Homo-oligomer: A and B are copies of this chain.
Amino acid sequence: MPTSKDVAQAAGVAQSTVSYVLSGKRPISEKTRKKVEDAIQQLTYQPNAGARALASRKTRVIGLVIPFIPELHMASIMEFVSVIASTARLYDHDILLVTEDEGAPGLQRVVGQQICDGLILMQVEGDDERLPVVRNLHVPVVLIGIPRDPSGLVCIDADFEMAGEQCVQDLAAAGHTVISVLDWQREVVDRHVNYVERFMAGTNKAAESLGVKVVHLPGGTDRDVIADSVDKALAETTGVPAFIAPDGTAQDVLRRALSSRGLTPGKDVSVIGSASPTLAELQPIPLSTIDLRPAEVSRRAVKIVCDLLQSDSRGPTESLELVPTAITHRSSTLRPSPGA
């Protein structure tokens, strides 16, 4: 592998000049720049990341802590991961995977060994055990998800409360007076993942202001649980029943339960699921969805870390961003009745 010294030699300049051509941190004459760039081309020189990191104290790597619990909707997690990795490249950074099972020590490891310049944590719980550690890490950390106490932390997430409101408003506008909301899986609820509560709060708020009734029911992927929830919902409803299934994993089971009871979404029942535009395409039926904007959340998370990295802010930072959500109508919900 050629080094910058080889390039310097080939171009007839000093090694430091090569470095300045690459970094642009000092003015270089057009003539010299050309000589150096030609030499780089010819030798197919690429700077050594280790040496660069050692000298500059920047690795240009961001650690991404990913969850893998089957109860989460993996397709959507993957969308986060993928967009985060692509976006990081736009900022000339790379992504290092850290699995959630490494826990807090894992964070200390990658930061302590200076493998990463910053971190992004996914699936942050209400009282995440890693939070105290995060607060004391001297590198930028962005949380995807809002913990119970976000003080001293930088957080971003979809606006789940808005999402809840939008779903209820939408169904109310279509004439539904009783709306059933399937909860996330027990495993998720029990972790006090804050978005569950925010979503539910949104549905309640909208229900109150619109004078409709919202019924919360157990969700998940267990067939019997869902069947039970559906039966309860049907019992509570006089008109056309409506369901909101914000948890991606519950959608298939719900659809199945409805269809086995002879109910067709968009005809004798309304269903709003959750999916990004990308994933909605793959649904077995044209599902009306609430888009929780995983791609946008991912992009912003990366931007925030990179901005913090650049501003080199060592002081404690704190911020909270909520990304607006949006409903997309497909044929699984009733149209608003103009007469209503």
A-to-B contact residues, CB < 8 Å: 1, 44, 46-54, 59, 61, 64, 66, 68, 70-71, 73-75, 77-79, 81-82, 85-86, 89, 94-99, 101-102, 108-110, 112-115, 221, 223, 249, 252-253, 255-256, 259-260, 278-279, 281-285
Chain B residues whose CB sits within 8 angstroms of the CB of A78 once the complex forms: 68, 74-75, 77-78, 81
The answer to whether B82 and A89 touch across the interface, beta carbons within 8 angstroms, is: no
Instruction: List 4 other contacts, CB 8 Å, given A1-B114, A48-B114.
Output: A48-B113, A95-B97, A221-B281, A252-B284
Instruction: Tell me how far the C-beta of A314 lies from the nearest C-beta in chain B, rounded to whole angstroms.
Output: 13
Given A279-B70, A284-B253: A54 in contact with B48 (beta carbons within 8 A): yes
Number of copies of chain A assembled together? 2
Closest to A280 in B: B70
- Which residue of B74, B85, B94, B108 is within 8 Å of A74 (Cβ)? B74
Given A97-B94, A99-B85, A259-B260: A112 in contact with B46 (beta carbons within 8 A): yes
Instruction: Tell me how far the C-beta of A76 lies from the nearest C-beta in chain B, rounded to whole angstroms.
Output: 8
- Which residue of B54, B70, B81 is within 8 Å of A51 (Cβ)? B54
Chain B residues whose CB sits within 8 angstroms of the CB of A283 once the complex forms: 221
CA A66 to CA B48, docked complex, whole Å: 24
CA A115 to CA B94, docked complex, whole Å: 9
The answer to whether B86 and A49 touch across the interface, beta carbons within 8 angstroms, is: no
- Which residue of B77, B82, B89, B96 is within 8 Å of A102 (Cβ)? B89
Given A51-B54, A74-B75, A282-B70: A96 in contact with B94 (beta carbons within 8 A): yes
The answer to whether B278 and A256 touch across the interface, beta carbons within 8 angstroms, is: no
CA A255 to CA B101, docked complex, whole Å: 35
- Which residue of B50, B102, B109, B285 is within 8 Å of A256 (Cβ)? B285
The 7 closest A-B pairs by CB, nearest first: A50-B53, A46-B112, A68-B82, A74-B75, A50-B54, A74-B78, A95-B97
CA A77 to CA B255, docked complex, whole Å: 24
The answer to whether B94 and A46 touch across the interface, beta carbons within 8 angstroms, is: no
Greatest chain B CB density within 10 A among A77, A99, A221 is at A99
Chain B residues whose CB sits within 8 angstroms of the CB of A252 once the complex forms: 252, 284
30 sampled A-B residue pairs with Cβ under 8 A: A1-B114, A47-B113, A48-B54, A48-B113, A49-B50, A49-B113, A49-B114, A50-B50, A51-B54, A66-B81, A66-B82, A68-B78, A68-B82, A70-B281, A70-B282, A74-B78, A74-B79, A75-B78, A85-B97, A86-B99, A89-B102, A95-B96, A221-B281, A221-B282, A223-B284, A249-B282, A255-B284, A256-B259, A259-B259, A259-B260
